[in-house]
Structures are given as C-alpha cells and as structure tokens.
Structure 1
Amino acid sequence: MYAKGTAPRRDGGAKPWLPWLVTALVVLFSGAVAYLGYGAYSAQKTRAVEAEKAAAEARALTVSTEQARKTLEEKLAEQLAAKDQKLSALEDERTRLSTEREQLQQAVQEKDAELARLKATYEDIEQKLKAEISDGEIRLSQAEGRIQVDLVDKILFDSGEAALTERGNEVLTRLGAVLAKVENRSIFVSGHTDDAPPSQRLAATYPTNWELSVARAVNVVRFLGEKAGVPPSRLVAAGHADTKPVASNATPKGRARNRRIEILLIPDLPAGKQGETKAAADSR
C-alpha cells in the first residue's frame, strides 16, 4: 500500500522542479508570444500610419494635381479665347481690306471709264470745232477731269451786244450736239468782258459790264437748253464782267482774249459738295 497522494517512484523518487520548469516554459512561451504579438501589432500600426500618411499625401497630390489641371485648363481657355479674338480681328481686317480693294478696283475702273468718256468728249468737241480752234477763235483745254471751251466774243456776238449772231447760233449748234450727249457733268457758262465800259449807245441796256456779261451767258445757256438739246438741269449761267481777265487789257489782242464766253464741264458731285464745285468754277 502506498500512502495517499503518493505514487510509486520508478526512477527512484519524484522531481519537484518539473512543475516549475513547465511553468517557466509556459511563462516564457507566453512572453514570447506576447512579445511577438506586440511586435506584429507595432509593425501593423506603423504600416497603418504610413499607409494613412501615404493616403493623405496621395489625396493632397490629387487635390494639387486637380488644381493644377484646372489652372492649366483656365489658362488654355484664356489663350484659346485670345487666339479666337485675334483670329476674329484678323478676319475682320482681311474682310475690310478685301472690301477696300474691291472698292478701289471699282473706283479705278470707274475713273478709267470716266477718263475714256472725257477723252471721247474732248476729241468730239475738237472735231466739231476744228476750224475755229485752228483760227484761234476757240481754245479747248483739259485738266483735272475738266474740259474748258473758251469762245472769243466775236464768233458769238456783235460788238457790245448780247444777242447771238447767226454764226454764233451755228457754232453753238455744233458744240451743243456734243454737250447734249455728256452725262454726269455740270456745264457752267460764264460771260467775261474787257475793262472798257459799255458804249454810251448801250448804257441804257447794259449800264456796266456786269449786265453785259450776265446777258451773254444767259443767252448762250438758253440756246443750248432750248435749241441744242442740252438738259437745262445741267446748265448754269454766270457773269464776271472784267474781274477775271486771262490777258492784259493794255493791248488790243489781250482785250480780245478777255472778251469771251467760257464753257466748263465739271463732274457732278454729291449735293453737299455742289457749292464747292460752283466755287471752283467761279474761281476760274
């Protein structure tokens, strides 16, 4: 029989240190496990913190990238708008220049056509009045788009008279045949005298050279409008007496040149400039 709580000892007796060894081993294993578990937790926590930091940095980078993208898009939009505006301005300028070029070409064509008509009119008058031009009784000139016909008084009027002579009617008939075909031109007829006053015989009818010069211009205008077929709306009559001489009144030849009828063909102008045209005609 063995005492209670004892067992037979096969090895010669119990080992009292064994439980303590087991306990120590358990404690050591638990400590190792705890240590390893804490290390894993620490590593995981570190990784989590780093991951959160990386995520925060990624979010910040995303926000920064988005802002940069928006800024770039806005800048590109502004540049595109500026380029569109510049292209639009260039297109407007191109259209304006194209329009101006077309207008210039049209103006040149119209000018060429006008010069051709003027040349034809000049040559026609020259042909119709060849004999009088050759004799020096008529002077024909052309300048600055105008044609001027100067007729000495003796081929139209008797001395000191304002009524047209038979020869005057015949000369004006030939001239009127050309003037009647002229378009887009005003025809200014002005009477001029020398500085000698009308004779005593004519003083009652023409007290001064003003009345004589005006009467002669009016009679020429009436003949051209009533007998030669020139549109009256194109005709203007004026008298200048002896205020616009073209030669000296000191010689008979000069006085003869000053006694004249001037017929000036001037291009029609807009209503606002008609006064300028008349002033230009009166200044001759």
Structure 2
Amino acid sequence: MPFRYATTVLLMLVALVATGCGRVVFTPKGGPPQAQPIALSPQQQQQLAATQQQLQQRANALDRDNQELEALLAQSRQQEQLMRDQTVAMQQQLQATTDRLAAMQTDNQKLLADKQQLQNRTQALTASASVQQPVGAEIRANNTLLKPLQSANMAGVSVRQDGDTIRVTIAGDTLFAPGSPQFQPGADQLLRSVASDLMSNYPEHRIGIEGHTDSQTGLSAQYPTPHHLSVAQATVVYEQLRQSFGAAPEQLFVIGHGANHPLVSNATPAGQAQNRRIELVVYPETTRRR
C-alpha cells in the first residue's frame, strides 16, 4: 500500500509539472470518481517551477545545438559539392592539357621529320656542288689572311679579320658625296691605294664589294631606297678595281646591303656616319687565272 501511494504521488507531481497548477485531482483505485485536491506548499511549487525552467532551458539548448548541427551539415554539403565541381574542372583541364601535349608531340614529330628531310636535301646539294665544282676554282686554307696590310694605316680605313675572311672598311663619307655614288675629291686615289694593297697580297682571292648606308640617308628619284644607293656605290668601286687593276669579273662581286647591317646605332649623326661604308671582303676561295 505505501508503494502504491508513492506512485500516486509521483503521478501527481508529473501532472503538476505539466499543467503548472498547484492542485492535482486523482481517483483512488476501486473508489468512485472523487476529486481530492492536494495542496503543495509554495516551496514545492517553486522547486517544481525551477525544475520546469531547467528542463525548458535544456530543451532550448538542444534546439540550438540541433540548428547549429543542421547549419554545419548544410555547409559541409556545400563544400562537398564545391569540391566535386572543382574536381570536374580539374579533370577537364587535365584532359585539355593532355590533348595539347599530344598535339605538340605530333607537331614535334612533323618538325623532326621536316628537319631530317632538309638535312638530307642539304647533304645531297652539298655532294652535288662538290662534284660539280668548276675547273680552275679551289678552296685553300686562308693562311694569307695573316698578312699585314698597309691599308690599315690609312685615314678613314680599318682592317679586321672576320672568321675566315678579312674586311677592309672604307668610310663612305671619305669616298662619296652625301646620298650619291659620286667620288669625293681624292677618293679615287685612296681607293687605288687600298686596291693596290689588296691585289698585291690577294691576287687570286675572291673579293666581295659590299655597300652599306645608314637608315637616315636622303633618297631621290634615282635612288629610291637605301639598297639602290648602296648597290650604286659598290658598283662604282667595282668599276674602279676593274679599270685600274684589270681584276677578272669572276674574282669580284657586288652586294648592296642598304641599311640592313649597321655597325652601331643610327640614333646619332656619328653613328650614321660610321654605318655609311664600303667593305672589301677577301674570301678564302681563289680563282686561278688562265
């Protein structure tokens, strides 16, 4: 009987907590329905209210925790989707890079094939040229380039060795009037001195006569480009060598470079003057005279 009574009291307390009131009505077992109010003391009511508040606070805390977990879960799902998208993008980039690499390898193979074909053609042309070398022409070791030239001591003239050739440079302003193939006074004498020195030391060597201008030379209707002027000046030197020394036509040749090969910058008048020049280039190839 005491255990049953205790159970009844506990049920009353639970009902009191649920309803928040200070009275509980219950019906004893076996008896007729009868309201029996139980009065709780103010201290008991306060304790029950405090217990209810604690339970409500815990429920609110659990609700907040649940909301935070849901937010973290949503954020995690977004990050997972972002990572999937990035993975797909990286895979696409990797595929594109692989395709480009394959294309480059194909191009490299084509280039190698073209290079090999060009080398084969060059070798064939070289072999053909060696077989068809004209009688009377030969290539000798150019030890004669070590000879000192008196031209190096002349004003407006410089001499330098360039690989297997020797270059005698004559200042263009010393030879020609500005923008013209006409000789300056005394230029023919200077040219004869230089040519005499060359022909004495290299009587059978091929000699190239190269004309050079600067990029600022004034042009005319007769010489509309720097190339026209450089060819005209080189041709005048060619005729002088032919007439004064009887050089064979096969020994000499003319090249007009225009302003394509400056020695220094054309930004200053001094640089422009240095670029205007005639170069007599002695090659190791010789021509036997008959």
Q: Which of the five TM-score ranges fits, normalised by the shorter chain?
A: 0.3 to 0.5
Larger radius of gyration: 1
What TM-score does the superposition give when structure 2 sets the normalisation length?
Answer: 0.47
